[in-house]
Structure 1
Amino acid sequence: SPPTGAGRAAGRDATAAVVRTLDRQGDVQAAWSARTTKNTWLRSKDGRTLLVLVRLKGTDKERKEAAPRVVAAARAAAPAADVEPSGATWANRAIDESVERDLRRAELLAAPVLFVVLVLAYGSVVSALLPVVVAALTIGCAVPILGLLAQAVDLSRVAVSAASAIGFGLAVDYSLFLLARVREESARGADLHT
């Protein structure tokens, strides 16, 4: 929408500039507005808010990557206008970024707490490091595989976090299983060194 006090003509000019600019973008398949299609539903009744529809090219992943460039181009084409992106691609991108940020924060908070729990469960720092080493090896193998897989198919941005969580969970679970087994055999009087 044009700034306060600007007339309908300024809004139409800004919208036309945005559509022309976006039509020249390599990421844009088509862009249209009330002015280019004569659809009155793309304009508010007072003419201050105008909608520009944009269809992006490519896969879902490519569209998510292109969205910020397209929005920046639209804002540059009409610097006096308030350009607000919307739509499924923009919303999915925002959700992915939010989920990824939240997962990283959760990982940073959970790691020290989990390590303290492991030290308490295993009874020593050295024993608690065993699942951490196994998890690091698992994650170290999973990340390159995910990288190769990402070349063939679209993967979620949270795939690495999911692989990390699964790898660490399996390492802790297996280590607890081994610890319980060793303690059980020790309680029976078995010689653990042979």
Structure 2
Amino acid sequence: MHPTLLRLDPSECISRIEQMDLNTEGLLRAADAAVSAASDASPFDPSNASGTFAYIFGTRAMREEFVSSRWTVDRQEAVEAIRNESLKIRVVFQNVDVACNEKLQPKPRSKKGAGSERTCSENMLFDAEAIPHYTPAPTKGDYATYYLMVDESGACELSCPIVMNGTFTSFLERIFLTDSSGIPVTLSQDEDNDAVESFDPPVVRKK
């Protein structure tokens, strides 16, 4: 299992997002668009309508926010994303069960396909301990693939996962953006959560 670099401090998260040629405001607007679209689902819609609406409008909003001379639409391996060619970064929208929870790692609300697994396989080429200092190098043509992960409450994070067997098995980096209140996250270290006491993921904290 890969160690996870958690970024919790709002000022650090903003700085990291800017290093990636993104901005927190645009990411949060895309998350808001997804949550708003999900709420439009009717009891008469198909059972997966809420998640489908969130995915479609979250992906659309993310592209509307960032596609420009630096970011382009990316559909490699049939995975809908945006791509920054110079930084070699790809960002995908994803509905998850939980986001911005220090004790729980996000899981996709629908099974990831083989294309997602192949796309994220390049993440394993990067060293998590080097992430605080790196801008992904374009020497081999490999991309670091991040996901804008949004849960049903509106909590969201921008994170770099490893995908295996249809799910996220570990993370190199998790950048917390906001909890369900819409306020940048500052989590207490003594937060109680009896349901996850046995969960102890390896974590590398930035010093």
Q: For the superposition of Structure 1 and Structure 2, which TM-score range results when normalised by the shorter chain?
A: under 0.3
The one of the two structures with greater contact order (alpha-carbon pairs below 8 A, sep at least 6) is 2
Between Structure 1 and Structure 2, the one with more helix by share is: 1
**TM-score normalised to structure 2 length:** 0.22
**TM-score normalised to structure 1 length:** 0.23
Larger Rg: 1
